[in-house]
A and B are shown apart, each in its own frame.
Chain A
Amino acid sequence: MKEISELNLPADLRYADDHEWARLEDDKVRVGLDDYAQDQLGDIVFVELPQEGDTFKKGEVFATVESVKAVSECYMPVGGEIVSVNNDLEESPELVNNSPYGDGWFVVINPGNPSEMDTLMTSEAFLEKLKGTE
């Protein structure tokens, strides 16, 4: 497993406590699982995603990620409607491991309240938090 110093936490993203990342793209928010979580889970074998059109509040479970011997739930970093899901993950869940911030994205959200982005951590703040839990 990676040392904290080896983690890739891009500065243009925001991070939630439960290891979801969020990127503001115009008025939409793209969401995925961060490097730390994919590394801890190990080889991801299955991702269960919501359907386009589903809406969730911030903090609600919208997806589950499975490795061989663990299941992990993903929580909405911001509330809103799911406008796009990454169907490639169905056939190739390994994308989450290989490219957590690129091809391994989960969903795009149309946020109900864009200011919820401000409740998420910056990469520096998130890194500090991770160091604290070590």
Chain B
Amino acid sequence: MKETVGTTGLILNEPLLWEKGKKGRCGYSLPRRDVDFFSLDQELRGEGPDFPDLSEVDVVRHYTRLSQWNFGVDTGMYPLGSCTMKYSPKTNEKQAGLSGLAGAHPLLPQDLSQGTLRMMYELERYLAEITGMDAVTLQPAAGAHGELTGMLIIHAYHKNRGAQRSRILIPDTAHGTNPATATLCGYSSVQVKSNENGILSAESVADLMDEDTAGIMLTNPNTLGLFEENIREIAEIVHSKGGIVYCDGANLNAVMGIVKMGKIGVDVMHLNLHKTFSTPHGGGGPGSGPVCVKKHFEQFLPVPRIVEDKGNYAFSDNYPESIGKVQAFHGNIGVIIKAYSYIISMGPKDLKMASRLAVLNANYIKESLKDTLHLAYDRPCMHECVFSDEKQRDDHVTTFDMAKRLMDYGFHPPTVYFPLVVHGAIMVEPTETESKEDIDKYIEAFKAIADEAKENPDLLHNAPGKSKVRRLDEVSAARKPCLAG
């Protein structure tokens, strides 16, 4: 291997929290006691939790070392398909940490919380403009939570019309959350097969759509990174049977300022602020999953809604047909602030440019690697492209092996084994914030790995070799689960 980004450096070991420290230490400055002790019934008093006692230095070293075992977007390229791991601007973190925004109680009198209310109101308007929808709620805490909210809205809509339905159409390329969400709302999922071009054909939807079907839940661009070209026709078919078109907005990063979903037949959609709008993923959350709807679904949105009157902002609960609440308070405001900051830092031109460059980067990777890796659908892609390990099968090397080997080269692997319709899928989404130089290095690494697969496949079978730990025994972990120490 010639010199790559990936190297080992000095990685320090670190025990578990409770394997360090000494009774009597404390890493916290206890506030002054300026009141007397008051007694509490012994029956109610407990012994306190068995936490370790650590000094501030113990704690700081512990988590600093742990952090160094992690790979983040700030470490290097993280082209995880369907996840949009773009750079998270640092100024957004600063804005979310402003004391007035971070310190505010959610039930403050509204006159005393105008800044946050205004920010929320404006963000709702911006998201409505970007999606071409009419009304927005910021309450859902994550993408899957937005999906649930959207599905509850669909459920409420049909119930309100006095004729509940029992099924929902979901393409075979869908995220696993889609069928799981449908189940939570009592709908059974009916799978729609994508055609030989990797997209839905209007005929296959027409064959399945009927008046017992609540609607269709699609992702556009879909999880193969392809635009659903027949969306208008599909929407017409679904609407003609009284159904609703739901769009999973996971892949909005391909079409900001280019396609407005609300104008091409979509009725309800959720967004992932942690994907498209740059808020960091935080090792798996918190995210934020706003839901955008067309006018005739507005009455079902969660409460409270924000209303504006002559520059004054207020919460209103006066929506009797609302589905209710999906979180205790108003949403993940700390995340929402970052998305708001991102949108007003980018402005309309650069948001559109972001989508254009995301698509350029993906097509560049697709063209550069299609001789090395099997390309599942050889047509122009949107913001991500899907390969497979078909060309490496004779070398007895799998997608899994190549993914692990990429780590040694200093890259985070792409999404693997998804979507399910491509056997051994390798799904690459570079995002617009990767430069040509970094992408070139990534392409080079993949080519080098494909060569290794032929010459020395064991290098791949044993990868990664430079990480803090080597491959982990997931079988024992699941057979005899140890979930707490």
Touching chains A and B, CB distance < 8 Å: yes
Chain A residues engaging chain B, CB cutoff 8 angstroms: 43, 45-46, 66, 68, 93-94
| B residues 436-484 in Cβ contact with A at 8 Å | 474-475, 478-479
- Residues in A with CB closer than 8 Å to B475 are 43, 45, 68
Chain A positions within 8 Å of B479 at CB level: 45-46, 93-94
C-alpha gap A66/B474 in the complex (Å): 13
Chain B interface bracket (under 10, 10 to 19, 20 to 34, 35 or more)? under 10
The prevalent SS among residues of B at the interface is helix
Q: Report Cα–Cα, A66/B478, bound state, in Å.
A: 9
B residues bordering A, Cβ < 8 Å? 474-475, 478-479
- Shortest Cβ gap from B253 to chain A (Å): 27
Docked complex Cα distance between A5 and B37 (Å): 79
Q: CB-CB < 8 A to A45: which residues of B?
A: 475, 478-479
A66: which B residues are within 8 A, CB to CB? 478
9 other A-B residue contacts (CB within 8 Å) besides A45-B478, A45-B479, A46-B478 = A43-B475, A45-B475, A46-B479, A66-B478, A68-B474, A68-B475, A68-B478, A93-B479, A94-B479
A-B contact pairs, 12 of them (CB 8 A): A43-B475, A45-B475, A45-B478, A45-B479, A46-B478, A46-B479, A66-B478, A68-B474, A68-B475, A68-B478, A93-B479, A94-B479
Contacts of A93 in B (CB 8 A): 479
Assembly CA distance A94 to B474 (angstroms): 14
Task: List the A residue with the shortest CB-CB distance to B417.
Answer: A69
- Cα separation A43 to B479 with both chains bound (whole Å): 9
Pick the most buried of A43, A46, A66, A93: most chain B CB atoms within 10 A of its CB. A43
Min CB gap A73→B, angstroms: 15
Q: CB-CB < 8 A to B478: which residues of A? A: 45-46, 66, 68
- Complexed CA–CA distance, A43 and B478 (Å): 10
Residues of B within 8 A of A43 (CB): 475
| CA of A45 to CA of B475, assembled, Å | 6
Docked Cα-Cα span, A45 to B477, in Å, equals 9
Residues of A within 8 A of B474 (CB): 68
Bound: A94/B479 CA distance, A:
9
The 10 closest A-B pairs by CB, nearest first: A45-B478, A43-B475, A45-B479, A68-B474, A68-B478, A68-B475, A45-B475, A93-B479, A46-B478, A94-B479
Shortest beta-carbon distance from A87 to chain B in Å: 16
Chain B residues whose C-beta falls within 8 Å of the C-beta of A94 in the assembled complex: 479
CA distance A93 to B479 in the complex (A): 7
- Complex Cα gap A43–B475 (Å): 7
A106 to B120, CA, bound (A): 56
Determine how close the nearest CB of chain B comes to the CB of A120; give it in whole angstroms: 29
Query: How many Å lie between the Cα of A43 and that of B480 in the bound state?
Result: 13
| Chain B residues positioned under 8 Å from A46 (CB to CB) | 478-479
- Closest chain-A Cβ to B473's Cβ sits at a distance in Å of 10
Query: Shortest distance in angstroms between A104's beta carbon and chain B's nearest beta carbon?
Result: 14
Of chain B, the residue at the smallest CB distance from A92 is B479
CB B424 to nearest CB in A, in angstroms, measures 13
What separation, in Å, do the CA atoms of A93 and B474 have in the docked complex? 14
B455, chain A: closest CB distance, angstroms: 24
CB-nearest residue of chain B to A42: B475
Which residue from chain B places its CB closest to the CB of A68 in the assembled complex? B474
Name A66's closest neighbour in chain B (CB-CB): B478
Q: How far is the CA of A61 from the CA of B48 in the complex (A)?
A: 46
B415 CB, nearest partner CB in chain A, Å: 14
- Select from chain B the residue with minimum beta-carbon distance to A97: B475
A46 to B479, CA, bound (A): 6
